[in-house]
Amino acid sequence: MAVQGEEHARADAVRNRAALLDAAADVLAVAPHSSLAEVATRAGLGRATLYRHFENREALRAAIRAEALSRAATALADADLLECDTREGIRRAAAVLVPLGVRFRILLSEGADTDEDFLAARNEALAPLWGVLARGVETGDLPTSANTAWLGLVLAGTLMAAVRAAGAGLIDSAEAGDLVADAFVSGFGAS
C-alpha cells in the first residue's frame, strides 16, 4: 500500500505544479507584479504548496519559461513544417505560436529575450520554424540575399507584435497565422 500512497503523492505533486504554472501564467500575464500568494490562491492551493515547488519568484518565472518553450517545441513538431511551402509553414507556426504567446505573454514583459540561456533554448525550440525560413531563402520565396538569422529576428518581432495585438483584443488569435504569414511573406516575398 505504501507504493500506491507514494504514487498518489507524486501524482498530486505533478497536478499541483501544473496548476501553479497555469495560474501563474494567467495571473502574471494580467498583473506582472502580483504576489505569489495570488498565484497560489488562483491555483486553489496554499502558499506553502507553491514554495515546495518554486522557492521564489525567479524559480517560478524560470519554470514558466521552460513550460512555454516545451509547449512551443511540441506545437511546432505537431504542425508538420517539413513539407510545406514558406507561406504555409509560417502560417502554421504562427497559428500555434501566437495563442501560446498570449498564454505566456508574461515572458514579453519580463525581458526574457535578453537572457542568453533563454534565447538559446528558444532557438532550439523554434528550430523547425528557422528551417522554414532557410528553405524560403533557398527556394527564392524570401530574398536570397537575406541572412536567415536576421529573417528569424524579424519574424520573431512580428510574432511578438501579433501576441501583443491578440492579448489586447486587436486581432483574433485564430486569425494570427494568416495575418503573420501575409505580412511576412508579402513584405519579403519575391517581387
Per residue in 117-169, pLDDT (tens digit) is: 888 888 899 999 999 999 999 999 998 888 888 999 899 889 989 998 998 89
Place of cell 519559461: 65
Q: What is the arithmetic mean of pLDDT over 12-31?
A: 91
pLDDT given at position 1: 47
Tell the CATH topology of 1-55: Arc Repressor Mutant, subunit A (1.10.10)
Question: 148 near 137, Cβ under 8 Å?
Answer: yes
pLDDT over 90 at 48, yes or no: yes
- How many percent of the chain have pLDDT more than 90? 58
Among candidate residues 76, 69, 56, 64, the one with its CA nearest the CA of residue 18: 64
Distance between CA atoms of 54 and 71, rounded to whole angstroms? 20
107 or 188, higher pLDDT: 107
Q: Any long-range contacts for 143-146 (C-beta under 8 Å, 24+ apart)?
A: 143/188, 143/190, 146/188
Q: Count the alpha carbons within 13 Å of 61 in the hemisphere toward its beta carbon.
A: 19
Taking the C-alpha atoms of residue 27 and residue 42, their distance in angstroms, rounded to an integer, is 8
Query: Is the pLDDT score of 110 beyond 80?
Result: no
What pLDDT is attached to residue 191?
45
Over range 73-79, report the average pLDDT: 95
Burial class (CB in 10 A: 0-12, 13-18, 19+), 189: middle
**In terms of C-beta density within 10 A (0-12 exposed, 13-18 middle, 19 or more buried), how is residue 162 classed?**
buried
- The CATH code belonging to domain 64-188 is 1.10.357.10
Confidence band of 173 (pLDDT split at 50, 70, 90): confident
pLDDT confidence of residue 165:
93
Rounded Cα distance, 139 and 136, in Å: 5
Helix (H, G, I), strand (E, B) or coil at 176: helix
Per-chain mean pLDDT for the chain:
88
More confident residue, 44 or 108: 44
Residue ranges of the alpha helices (H) in the chain? 2-30, 36-43, 47-53, 57-78, 86-103, 106-109, 116-125, 127-139, 148-167, 176-188
Domain with CATH 1.10.357.10 in the chain: 64-188
What was the pLDDT predicted at 31? Answer: 87
pLDDT at 44 over 90: yes
Which ranges in the chain are annotated with CATH 1.10.10? 1-55
